[in-house]
């Protein structure tokens, strides 16, 4: 039987208002959510064991943006697209920005690639070879130029730097090289531009990684400048890490710069965000909402970083964005007053139940309402609406197989 969305929404709104939660405020915040999708997630990707090509994979940067625009069209909250240089190369970034605008999206964070060129075999900013360090700095400066042309405000940095064997490198010297290189790049940034520093405990380096965890990224950010912040990639933690705690800590320090959303079972699995540990995702959002309520979660870049090998790319991206909408909606309806009162009394049961009650709520009527107000086609189910649009079949016929290139 078809769901009665109006009625379901009315009932949920009444229930929330009993706990003092204004459903209008929740909808307004859901409509303002902004999730950036990555250009590299639309192209064919693989593992080191092989790449399976998919029919309809985009053949150019323009086509990646066309696909990304579909995700925005059916979710309403994915209006920007991150680019990775040189996986994405165009002759003129201002023209590309104009084309993105025509499609209804914009160019988001710019990600320099300082890990694939041969010169980076032993590292980029951490390399003992000054030529490698300087090539990396120059490339990052070039990316700042792309930000200007594309009107993008985030320079998003991840380094594959590290060593594979004990004794291979002087870890302290490499740290100093990082401070030097990052500071040089930071000097290029204008006052409304932010440097994001990502961390990762291992891979491709297996003995030590120069920026291995959030604490190291945080320390470097502090050395570099106020607008250098930490980027939390959900796949970049050792098993058992409490990511929501990291998020709360960084928010409180004013150094939470952004996210790379994805999900993991083992390591940097790059699976659909919310697919394996949806409760963890909700708990992270709960900290973000608490930060927003306290006025300290401004200018956080919410980005997806996934690399899918099995699902249709656009569909999985829609699924990911919907999972993020749903986690945000659940976090927005936590009864914060009841939670704070229970915490103050050390009433562990009631505090935990306040969190669980929100998590257990079916928030789809809220998402339906937010999308309806945004004028989204097929507001009740973006995935079905996208399938019904025929875009996937049309592009498969038009583009065929094997068009993608450039993604590692």
**Residues in region 297-316 near Mn ion by CB under 5 A:** 305
Nearer to Mn ion, 200 or 395 (CB): 200
∠ at Cα 377 (372, 381), nearest 5°?
A: 80
The backbone region for 360, taken as left when phi is positive above 0, alpha when psi lies in -120 to 50, beta otherwise, is alpha
| Contact pattern for ligand PSV over residues 87 through 126, marking x by CB under 6 A | ------------------------x---------------
Report the site for ligand PSV in 33-52 (rule: CB under 6 A).
Answer: 40
11/160 Cα distance (integer angstroms): 50
Token pair 């990511």 is found at: 243
DSSP letter for each residue of 191-252: TT-EEEEE--SSSS-SSEETT-SHHHHHHHHHHH-TTEEEEEETTSS-TT--HHHHHHHHHH
* Binding flags for ligand PSV, 136-175, as an x/- string (CB under 6 A): ----------------------x-----------------
Task: In whole angstroms, give the CA distance from residue 355 to residue 347.
Answer: 13
Question: Which residue from 161, 184, 188, 268 is in contact with ligand PSV, where contact means CB under 6 A?
Answer: 268
Residue 198 contacts ligand PSV per CB under 6 A: yes
Q: Are 258 and 302 in contact (CB under 8 A)?
A: yes
Residue 302 is a binding residue for ligand PSV (CB under 6 A): no
CB of 73 to Mn ion, least distance (A): 25
Interface with Mn ion (CB under 5 A), residue from 64, 139, 237, 260: 260
Question: ∠198-203-205 over CA atoms, to 5°?
Answer: 100
Preceding peptide of 305 cis, ω within 30°: no
Query: Furthest-apart CA pair in the chain: how many Å?
Result: 67
Min dist CB 54 to ligand PSV, Å, is 17
124 binds, among Mn ion, ligand PSV, none (CB under 5 to 8 A by kind): none
Torsion sign (Cα): 376, 378, 382, 387 = negative
| 233 lines the binding site for ligand PSV (CB under 6 A) | yes
Beta carbon nearer to Mn ion, 210 or 233: 233
Determine if 36 is a binding residue for Mn ion (CB under 5 A): no
Does residue 260 belong to the site contacting ligand PSV (CB under 6 A)? yes
* Chain contacts with Mn ion (rule: CB under 5 A): 233, 260, 305
User: By the criterion CB under 6 A, which residues form the site for ligand PSV?
Assistant: 40, 111, 158, 198, 200, 233, 260, 268, 305, 307
């Amino acid at each position: 039987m078809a769901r009665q969305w109006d009625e379901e929404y009315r009932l949920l709104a009444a229930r929330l208002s009993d706990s003092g939660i204004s459903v209008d405020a929740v909808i307004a915040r859901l409509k303002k959510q902004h999730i950036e999708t990555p250009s590299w997630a639309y192209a064919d990707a693989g593992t080191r064991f092989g790449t399976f090509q998919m029919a309809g994979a985009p053949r150019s940067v323009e086509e990646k943006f066309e696909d990304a625009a579909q995700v925005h069209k059916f979710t309403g909250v994915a209006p920007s697209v991150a680019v990775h240089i040189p996986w994405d190369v165009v002759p003129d970034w201002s023209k590309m920005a104009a084309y993105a605008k025509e499609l209804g999206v914009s160019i988001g964070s710019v990600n320099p690639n300082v890990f694939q060129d041969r010169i980076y075999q032993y590292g980029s900013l951490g390399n003992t070879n000054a030529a490698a360090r300087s090539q990396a700095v120059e490339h990052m400066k070039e990316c700042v130029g792309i930000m200007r042309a594309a009107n993008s405000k985030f320079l998003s940095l991840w380094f594959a730097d590290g060593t594979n064997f004990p004794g291979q490198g002087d870890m302290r010297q490499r740290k100093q090289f990082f401070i030097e290189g990052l500071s040089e790049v930071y000097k290029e940034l204008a006052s409304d531009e932010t440097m994001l520093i990502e961390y990762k405990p291992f891979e491709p380096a297996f003995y030590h990684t120069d920026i291995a965890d959030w604490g190291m990224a945080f320390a470097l950010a502090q050395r570099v400048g106020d607008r250098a912040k930490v980027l939390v990639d959900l796949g970049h933690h050792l098993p058992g890490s409490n990511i929501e705690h990291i998020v709360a800590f960084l928010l409180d320090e004013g150094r939470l710069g952004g996210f790379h959303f994805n999900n993991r079972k083992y390591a940097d699995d790059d699976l659909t965000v919310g697919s394996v540990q949806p409760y963890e995702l909700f708990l992270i959002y709960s900290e973000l909402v608490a930060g927003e309520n306290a006025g300290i979660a401004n200018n956080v870049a919410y980005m997806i970083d996934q690399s899918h090998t099995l699902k249709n790319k656009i569909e999985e991206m829609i699924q990911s964005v919907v999972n993020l909408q749903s986690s945000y909606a659940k976090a927005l309806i936590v009864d914060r007053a009841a939670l704070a009162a229970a915490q103050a009394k050390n009433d562990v049961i009631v505090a935990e139940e306040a969190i669980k009650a929100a998590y257990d709520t079916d928030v789809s009527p809220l998402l339906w309402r937010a999308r309806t107000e945004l004028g989204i086609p097929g507001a009740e189910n973006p995935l079905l609406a996208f399938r019904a649009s025929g875009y996937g079949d049309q592009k498969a016929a038009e583009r065929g197989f094997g068009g993608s290139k450039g993604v590692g």
